């Protein structure tokens, strides 16, 4: 269930400054047959994407914002695999639900591009990608899903992006026995044929908290926004500590979504847990936020006697979303869980070479999701059993596996903020050691 590492060959597109993907797997034909391979790929692109591909290419004329993180060591290249003849059989149809228009089009277009890269790099002529635009709305996702199921007869659905839409799409998929692989990170919607491929707040918190406890930090506190992400992160902290002997949750404070009471919440946190003298009653503090609010929190911490020297700050993948956060002095020496650039560098380089721009940070889910969707499309009747194999998959963002409950587990690294930028202090695992439950 481990995919081969592909190479890319770019063919100029009609859209100036970009290219249509023409990617050949490591099993690709020798140079003498590249012309034939290029013609084959062009035919597949035209057949598989049609009008929607045209919309993607037009949207792709404007490069998305660079959201990539710090560079770390690149793994050595994987040697080419021998050529293998593709089996002949009925098409395996993967429906793709992404926002190609509307306020989420930037990420949607890159998810679609990444999924098509995966299709072509696999070199499987039976695999067909059938994309539909969700228009960044629940109604659009529902209508597009009906088209895929009723008109296109797809074997599996990859997408949609948002959890609220995935619930509706999942219900439609269940009626026809079609698995739905959503890009959402909301665990609440998982199960009964719906899988969430996103990086869940729970696994981010669990990863960094377990690492902190392995380094001797046991008395913890949490400061989070009073929103869905903050509530989920704090619940994950409670659950992680409850599962480990010796951990204690000393205090929790939630602040308003507009950040208006951050100073008051930080002071309340400082006084919580029977703190005596100048030191807080906790030795580690989870800050489950990012962006401007996190920067406001960081500036308030030393003002209220919470310093990195005394308290280890812990974070999530929201931290590196904002470059200004990574250079915030008050967060220095803080730890957070995330995806290593070494894991995604190959994907980002190939994407950039093909499209002339860096992919959105979530685009890698389009590629890895397509690998899983292709496995599910092999046999609709056994799809769930196949994709929940406890060995998981080797994706472009590291290892990933789906649990029978419908959630995804990812192999995450732990980073430390240093004056020179984020540095890996605990690498991502290369395989799953514990069997799925």
**pLDDT tens, position by position, 408-435:** 999 999 999 999 999 999 999 999 986 5
The mean pLDDT value of the chain amounts to 83
Tell me the whole-structure pTM to 2 decimals. 0.80
Pair of tokens at residue 347: 């994907």
Task: Calculate mean pLDDT across residues 67-91.
Answer: 48
Q: How confident is the model at residue 69 (pLDDT cuts 50, 70, 90)?
A: very low
C-alpha–C-alpha distance, residues 110 and 95, integer Å: 16
- Supply the pLDDT for residue 87: 53
* CATH 3.40.50.2300 residue spans of the chain: 7-198+345-406, 201-338+414-426
Architecture of domain 201-338+414-426: 3-Layer(aba) Sandwich (3.40)
Q: Which residue has the higher pLDDT, 22 or 299?
A: 299
**pLDDT tens, position by position, 4-59:** 333 333 333 333 333 223 323 333 333 333 344 444 443 444 444 443 444 444 34
Q: How confident is the model at residue 349 (pLDDT cuts 50, 70, 90)?
A: very high
Longest dimension (CA), the chain: 76
Q: How far is CA 251 from the centre of its chain?
A: 30
- Supply the pLDDT for residue 245: 73
**pLDDT tens, position by position, 257-271:** 999 999 999 999 998
Query: Residue 329 pLDDT more than 70?
Result: yes
Phi, psi at 391, each rounded to 5°: -75, -25
- Supply the pLDDT for residue 266: 96
CA terminus-to-terminus distance, the chain: 20
- Supply the pLDDT for residue 34: 34
C-alpha–C-alpha distance, residues 240 and 71, integer Å: 30
Q: How confident is the model at residue 275 (pLDDT cuts 50, 70, 90)?
A: low
Q: How confident is the model at residue 81 (pLDDT cuts 50, 70, 90)?
A: very low
- Supply the pLDDT for residue 90: 84
Q: How confident is the model at residue 88 (pLDDT cuts 50, 70, 90)?
A: low
Do 317 and 323 form a contact (C-beta atoms < 8 A)? no
Which CATH number among 3.40.50.2300, 3.40.630.10, 3.40.80.10, 3.30.1330.30 corresponds to the domain 7-198+345-406?
3.40.50.2300
């Amino acid at each position: 269930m481990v995919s081969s590492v592909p190479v890319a060959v770019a063919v100029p597109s009609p859209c100036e400054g970009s290219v249509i993907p023409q990617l050949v797997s490591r099993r690709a034909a020798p140079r003498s047959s590249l012309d034939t391979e290029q013609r084959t790929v062009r035919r597949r692109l035209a057949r598989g994407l049609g009008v929607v591909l045209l919309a993607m290419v037009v949207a792709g004329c404007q490069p998305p914002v660079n959201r990539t993180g710090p560079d770390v060591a690149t793994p050595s290249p994987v040697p080419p695999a021998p050529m293998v003849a593709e089996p002949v059989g009925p098409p395996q149809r993967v429906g793709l639900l992404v926002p190609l228009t509307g306020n989420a089009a930037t990420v949607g277009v890159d998810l679609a591009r990444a999924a098509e890269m995966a299709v072509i790099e696999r070199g499987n002529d039976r695999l067909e990608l059938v994309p539909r635009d969700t228009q960044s709305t629940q109604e659009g996702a529902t209508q597009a899903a009906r088209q895929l199921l009723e008109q296109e007869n797809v074997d599996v659905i990859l997408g949609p992006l948002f959890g609220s839409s995935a619930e509706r799409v999942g219900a439609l998929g269940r009626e026809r026995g079609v698995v739905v692989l959503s890009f959402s990170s909301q665990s609440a919607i998982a199960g009964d044929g719906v899988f969430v491929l996103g990086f869940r707040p729970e696994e981010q918190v669990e990863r960094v908290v377990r690492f902190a406890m392995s380094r001797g930090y046991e008395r913890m506190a949490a400061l989070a926004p009073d929103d869905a992400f903050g509530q989920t992160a704090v619940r994950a902290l409670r659950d992680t500590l409850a599962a480990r002997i010796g951990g204690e949750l000393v205090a929790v404070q939630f602040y308003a979504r507009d950040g208006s009471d951050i100073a008051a919440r930080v002071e309340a946190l400082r006084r919580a847990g029977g703190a005596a003298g100048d030191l807080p009653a906790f030795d580690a503090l989870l800050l489950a936020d990012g962006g401007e609010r996190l920067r406001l929190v960081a500036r308030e911490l030393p003002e209220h006697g919470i310093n990195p020297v005394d308290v280890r700050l812990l974070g999530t993948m929201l931290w590196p979303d904002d470059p200004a956060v990574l250079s915030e002095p008050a967060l220095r020496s803080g730890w957070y869980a995330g995806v290593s650039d070494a894991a995604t560098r190959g994907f980002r380089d190939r994407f950039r070479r093909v499209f002339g721009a860096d992919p959105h940070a979530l685009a890698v889910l389009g590629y890895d999701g397509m690998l899983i969707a292709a496995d599910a499309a092999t046999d609709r009747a056994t799809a769930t059993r196949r994709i929940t194999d406890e060995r998981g998959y080797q994706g472009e963002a590291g290892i990933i596996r789906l649990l029978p409950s419908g959630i995804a587990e990812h192999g995450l690294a732990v980073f430390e903020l240093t004056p020179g930028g984020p540095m890996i202090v605990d690498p991502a695992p290369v395989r799953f050691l514990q069997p799925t439950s």
